[in-house]
Structure 1
């Protein structure tokens, strides 16, 4: 993601309206990391492998719905998960974008240890934005989406590969579902696309996160109810900063604490900042509304009027921004969080 619109509201179960990014920007707050019980050590996350998975996706070209590169990437992802022995389901759907175009889309669900009752979801989006609308020179060019798209998927793939290699007595106590959303980044940004019309806004619909919106209303697996979910978005760039985003805290504060405390204990507190930040419009808004308590790990630290790093939605989001240490920090932290269950 993401759209950095101010004031997108969502309705919580109790009926309260929460602004995902209020016009009155809040000061970020900082607290120390408390101790958290540690489970068995997770296997070592291989950042080299995650980097290669990122590069592989980028090599397909921009993964924009309705393109050959998009189809080829989706087919490869399905086969890659299957090669690790995971149970894979594809959710095919068509959805209208803000410009009226119908997007042929598919969400990909890959289940590790599907018979285990207690489960954790790992979410990411696998599509890329069709235009670099924040780019000063190439506003209409497609982008590689190395961090915004490929990095989260790469971490999910590497986790799946590692888990599949573990003997039965060294697997986590929970099953893991890797759920990759499509058509996430085909949204309308009023700050860069004021010359265009958002046809979905007239219907009272959000133009972002179309895949997670569809999934949240058509859950796969049916009746899906994991213990919690972790969304990986923009998790591969050098010097990434992950603040504790508001929607994550409001729906799943205990999960935020689990993840950030684990990151600190592993020595990654320079990535997982104990700072609270306003909410944003991302896939976790819709997974939370569907009853899956989800936190968002996203390179997102509001500074002034800018919420996202300089490469965001520009042609600079390519392999040059990807850093193996960031991939390692996120991958190892999420793996260990799961093993702590």
Structure 2
């Protein structure tokens, strides 16, 4: 994805304070928090179709690895723009150029689509649509320089957002939520330098003003589109499609957007998805939500966190195993239905 994981030996667990994905920050100790008391009945919301989200995931993967500067990347981006326009959303493209940590100059674009663009109250759904150009965390050394499908890491998040956009676009005006929704897909999120798996490579961006990860959200955060963009809160979806998906209450999300985090987890619990939305506080990671929070949008990060052990990311993270074989409609449904329902809760 975009951030760096730290894997600690078991001997280091005594008095553990978990390291974050960002080397200059430390997270809070993992802790259990209590689920909320019974809440009022949820308002009616449209049904999220997990089969449709699965098909959207498969469609992106079928293009091939969506690595910036590749034909697959261009083709997938064009398809995303056309699909969003077919839902009668207001669609904007934000092209930009950037240099990656290994000195590659890339052509990239963020894609923004607005549902009910006239609404004053707004919610942002963020995700990234590119894939990492190398599977550097793959257990097979022969595969470490191979591109990856990014089925969960990228495609699943975009697929959930696309299905949300599809079902919202079909609602009669009288049944629409009381907020406008902005679907913002960042590019060039995943071409970053991993200090654990790529220690033999020099990070040419080190010491500068640009993080090697999350290039698209960094660009968007300093070139807001729409101009002067504001939202009540944002939700970053990342790795939300794998079997056994597990989502914890990440530190930056708690610090910057606790009200939104509580809202999402409470709704997920009411819908019966507490096995996915776990009431466990975990440390902070470097992801696109760092830069959307910096841009003034209180943002929650929903990403797949292993249920056991000390790793921050699941085994398929940055590996060739991140393909359609791990995608599960149950996980897509849990995230998609929860996020759809949240839009209808004041």
Task: Please tell me whether the aligned partners of residues 277 and 302 of structure 1 are also in contact (alpha carbons under 8 angstroms).
Answer: no
Return the match for 1:212 from 209, 217, 220: 217
Unaligned runs of 5+ in 1: 11-17
Unaligned runs of 5+ in 2: 6-18
- Separation in 2, partners of 1:188, 1:205: 12
Render the CA deviation track for 1:122-161: whole Å, top value 9, x for unaligned. 0000000000001122000000000000000000100000
Cα pair distance change 1:38/1:124, threshold 3 Å: farther
Return the match for 2:108 from 92, 96, 105: 105
| Aligned-pair CA distance for 1:8 | 6.1
Aligned to 1:291: 296
Aligned to 1:139: 144
- Separation in 1, partners of 2:103, 2:230: 33
**Correspondence 1:92 to 2:95:** yes
Structure 1 residues 248-259: aligned runs within 5 Å: 248-259=253-264
Task: Please tell me whether the aligned partners of residues 55 and 146 of structure 1 are also in contact (alpha carbons under 8 angstroms).
Answer: yes
**Correspondence 1:262 to 2:267:** yes
**Correspondence 1:29 to 2:32:** yes
Between stretches 295-304 and 55-64, larger displacement belongs to 295-304
TM-score of the superposition, structure 2-length normalised?
0.92
Aligned to 1:338: 343
| Aligned-pair CA distance for 1:7 | 5.2
**Correspondence 1:162 to 2:167:** yes
Aligned to 2:329: 324
Match of 2:84, SS? helix
- Separation in 1, partners of 2:201, 2:77: 29
Match of 1:339, SS? coil
Aligned to 1:4: 4
- Separation in 1, partners of 2:41, 2:92: 33
Aligned to 1:306: 311
